[in-house]
Structure 1
């Protein structure tokens, strides 16, 4: 009985000592991290991630050393300690991966290096997956009576049934790997999927999350996303702008000939713009139409809208100065008075003529 009390006191004392040591060290290194930075935060996180259960198992094992336990119990006790150590090591390794990703992300702009962040997150996920698999195999290998080779063989047969049951999840998993490796888009890209559009925020194992222009978060299944037609505006080197304007039919021939030159002069006066063409396109019902094409040498949407607004205002001013009127839909009605002697003098006809343009 005396040995059991000694073992209990020893285990309790070791557990309390470990807990106090954990709290003191974690506080000390986190405080240093706030002042000096560096790896002090990592050390504090590793100390904080020390599992209380693992510490309790180690304390009980240390206390049991003063006891004379039966061989089978001692064998199982040793196995439990080894398994606890493996699990604790896996927890620390996972914290190292998380710390490395967080540190890299804090020092780099996701919008500028979205492709790297996407790759690093994928590598982090694969690292965690490998870590879990290795830890699980080591745990199974240290359980008394468990033959790891037989277990792996049985898992191969059962894996087929599991794969059939989880085929949708596995499809999303492989789609996620395809997104990471092929990179049709990365974190920070602005994409359009069918009628939905937004900025990619997160590429996960099963889904991809996009922040729309109106603020809500859109969630797409990775498999469905790859089956869709995706338009990636972040990779647009330049933006092609096509628009048309119309002037009234009463515009003199000389002024019509001047209009393409006026439009070209206005567009070429803008920065970050490359003029392509301006032509008298054809005759419409109410207008003489001109078609214009130019390129904005940037993918930035706000810059594109600023340039387009400036061009529209300049064209409006130049057309007003040149006394050129913009066309808009009009309809002219001709009233015809019948000739005398036809018997229709009291019933004048109303004939709708062809459309003509009028400012």
Structure 2
């Protein structure tokens, strides 16, 4: 048997030559899919290079290589298996299409639509990366707020793409009348809307947050008794990182319904405390402490000099109270604590230099030597002496 006769041998309705050609196409497509994916990725990068804002080609390739490889391999499968002939079921002869080929082609269609949606989702990730990189080089408020909106918009667009891909699969693969299906969901959709009332309220609240902009990612806020730094604003909730490093999820509806204090937007932070001096501290010592401490605070770059107030607030039975109040123009909480610490150390230095003493909370009770004794016993004792 020569080569030609061997290639013409038939098995399951196909010749050996057809099987060999199908295998060759599969092997070529399998081994070249990553190379072709890199070529396509490089072409896309060159077309969008002037808009990428410093994002490297490697970052784009890392996002696109896998989905593009799947798409190219599916194209290879289509070209390879289209070479073969498929058995025909008797009940489907009138349709002029083999039943096995129909099933394989539907699976192929699902794979292509899914992989193409995957590619689009990765392109959206790349667009977000480019926008974030641009925001790093700009410091104006609008740019930072827009950069905050991008993760939310990315997730929203991804959901729309997935829904669109699902509808395309229903319409193209399973021949479902998508328009009639959507129209038939009117009453059912209303019922779902009532069932998901809270979720819809949170979704609408998320749009309100981005339009009204009461806060942004990275700012310190207090809402509903919870204080934390905003880390992410999602569809349903906002994530806060508290001072205890816990991760608190607050529904977006609560973020707009409850009073919200944006601590990061304060022009300054108030520092207010009272120094309790003993009665042994003289008037001259108090005046010297007030003068030195006031001069020190007004010279600090982060202190508002016009807002420094140091007053003798009260004279009590425990001592003399000196009220100290000033405002710090610092946004960072750690810096706020550092300045307070420096002020406290300077207060100790001034008090020690003036020889003043702080009041003690210990209450001294002076008791009679006859305390606790019967008066008659006390009198009797006196008579004995």
Q: Normalising TM by the smaller chain, what interval?
A: 0.7 to 0.9
Partner of 1:46: 64
Q: Does 1:206 pair with 2:236? A: yes
Cα distance, 1:229 vs structure 2: 4.5
**Secondary structure of the equivalent of 1:346?**
helix
Q: Does 1:303 pair with 2:314? A: no
Partner of 1:4: 14
Cα distance, 1:288 vs structure 2: 1.9
Partner of 2:320: 288
Partner of 1:96: 123
Cα distance, 1:299 vs structure 2: 1.5
Cα distance, 1:207 vs structure 2: 3.4
TM-score, with structure 1 as normaliser: 0.76
Q: Which has the higher helix share?
A: 2
**Secondary structure of the equivalent of 2:314?**
strand
Q: Does 1:329 pair with 2:361? A: yes
Instruction: Give the unaligned 5+ runs of structure 1.
Output: 349-359
Q: Does 1:64 pair with 2:86? A: no
Q: Does 1:23 pair with 2:34? A: yes
**Secondary structure of the equivalent of 1:188?**
coil
Counterpart-to-counterpart distance in 2, 1:214 and 1:8: 66
Q: Does 1:73 pair with 2:105? A: no
Instruction: Give the unaligned 5+ runs of structure 2.
Output: 1-9, 46-53, 381-385
- Whether the 8 Å contact between 1:29 and 1:44 is mirrored in structure 2 is no
Counterpart-to-counterpart distance in 1, 2:196 and 2:21: 49
- Pairing partner for 1:180 from 210, 232, 245: 210
Partner of 2:50: none
Cα distance, 1:97 vs structure 2: 0.6
Cα distance, 1:151 vs structure 2: 1.3
Cα distance, 1:20 vs structure 2: 1.3
Cα distance, 1:52 vs structure 2: 4.2
TM-score, with structure 2 as normaliser: 0.71
CA RMSD for the aligned pairs? 4.0
Aligned length: 341
- Whether the 8 Å contact between 2:230 and 2:239 is mirrored in structure 1 is yes
